[in-house]
């Protein structure tokens, strides 16, 4: 039970820090099975203390930022690096994936993900944390917001009406 206990403890520690920073955040839990390669990746990310982060970035009109991720439009997402706070990671990921700077306003939801190895039923469940943040685009100097400038330069981002953007498979 070494992997399961350690990964669960890391998730609980991160949830406690999230609550200190943003107050009470709804927490869901899910369990799913992945192949051996995906399971090993989950073990490594858990060992490194990585948290998955997702950011709903809103512009002045309330639209949500989407970036082209290998042919599908998604909200910016990635993982923490080292001891990076999840909110700081979300801001970094938005800048790296979309070229837009933002400010995190709140943690919308956290999901504890139990990852099982579908090819080895005896392997322990590894626990990971995924956090969805709400953010606003930062205003830029005269000439438009960072978002408007980035969209003019980069066709790999777009803004969609927030009612059209569903929180589908964020895990």
Is 170 a domain residue? no
CA angle 113, 119, 120 (to 5 degrees): 80
Confidence of residue 139 (pLDDT cuts 50, 70, 90): confident
List the domain range (segments joined by +) for residue 114.
2-164
Is 140 a domain residue? yes
Q: What is the CATH number of the domain that holds 87?
A: 3.90.79.10
| Residue pLDDT, tens place only, 22-42 | 999 999 999 999 999 999 999
Which tokens sit at 137? 């685009």
pLDDT at 70: 79
Q: How many domains does the chain have?
A: 1
Which tokens sit at 127? 């626990």
| Residue pLDDT, tens place only, 55-110 | 999 999 999 999 887 788 999 999 999 999 999 999 999 999 999 999 999 999 99
Is 171 a domain residue? no
């Amino acid at each position: 039970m070494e992997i399961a206990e350690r990964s669960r403890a890391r998730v609980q520690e991160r949830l406690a820090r999230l609550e200190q920073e943003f107050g009470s955040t709804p927490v869901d839990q899910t369990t799913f099975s992945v192949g051996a390669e995906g399971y090993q990746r989950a073990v490594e990310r858990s060992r490194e203390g990585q948290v998955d982060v997702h950011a709903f970035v809103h512009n002045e009109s309330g639209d949500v930022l989407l970036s082209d991720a290998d042919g599908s439009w998604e909200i910016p997402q990635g993982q923490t690096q080292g001891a990076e706070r999840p909110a700081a990671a979300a801001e970094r990921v938005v800048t790296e994936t979309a070229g837009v700077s933002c400010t995190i306003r709140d943690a919308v939801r956290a999901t504890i993900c139990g990852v099982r190895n579908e090819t080895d039923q005896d392997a322990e469940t590894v626990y990971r944390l995924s956090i969805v943040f709400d953010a606003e685009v930062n205003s830029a100097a005269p000439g438009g917001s960072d978002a408007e400038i980035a969209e003019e330069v980069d066709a790999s981002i777009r803004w969609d009406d927030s009612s059209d953007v569903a929180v589908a498979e964020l895990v």
